[in-house]
Amino acid sequence: MSFSPEFSEEWLQYVTPNRRRELLQVLAEISRLYQTYQSPFVLVGACSLLIRGCLKYKAWWDVDLLFESPDEITRFHKLSGAPELQIVPVDFHPIDYGYLQSMQTMWGVKNVWYRVDYIYRDEYYHFHSVSPEKDNMYRIRLNLNSQKYDLWLPVAHPWNIFIDKLLSPRLKFELGVRDGYSIDIRHIFILFSLYRHDPGFWEYISRKSTELTNGTNVKENLRNLLLAKDELGYQSVIVEEKDFQMIDSL
């Protein structure tokens, strides 16, 4: 097995200590199922940003798997997990929420549980499957308390997550009510601050956002979000005129 030198294990320190082993077991089992059955999915959401080193705070992390189709969700759910894992469905089939389909499950090791959501959203699997990298596979062997965990699964790129969150149907409502506690808004501000000085970031956003929209929504939503940052409680986020110029050029 060859591992990915660009990935590290630093993210593990942002998992609550008494839940680290169990999260590694869950991710290792998902990796095994991915390799064994070649299930077409991509790890998205907060957990992907955690592993990518973008989120550096402790939280009770969930796992979001974005699948190629609803049928693949059903097929994956029928696979047998490791004996030490309990997999309990909250939903017994994918629920259609209009803009996406999702099936919620809970993965448990003894008395520690993680929520693992299986998600389908039209076009988004293929959107996340192509990124600035040649290879979005996360390959690493982690050691914890003398136990080895091999992780091998595709992880969405932060720049794709940035676009995804800007196009989320939730964002317009959360911005409208000035919901400063919104997870999506928090992540957008974090990613903006991390990459705003990178010309490649803006070039990629301009090109990639047209795959899901004409780009207008990304431009409009990002501009409105940055203009409202103080009302949302993000006064510390630095926004300069050149940032708005980059947004206008998208």
Question: What are the tens digits of pLDDT across the range 185-227?
Answer: 999 999 999 999 999 999 999 999 888 876 778 999 999 999 9
Distance CA 110, CA 142 (A): 21
pLDDT of residue 98: 83
Residue type, 113: W
With a cut of 70, which residues of the chain have pLDDT below it? 1-8, 214
- This prediction has a pTM of 0.92
Question: What are the tens digits of pLDDT across the range 121-147?
Answer: 989 999 998 888 877 899 999 999 889
Whether 156 contacts 48, CB under 8 Å: yes
> Where are the domains positioned within the chain?
10-156, 159-248
Taken in order 186, 189, 192, 195, the sign of the CA dihedral is: negative
CATH node for 10-156 = 3.10.450
> What tokens were used for 236?
């510390």
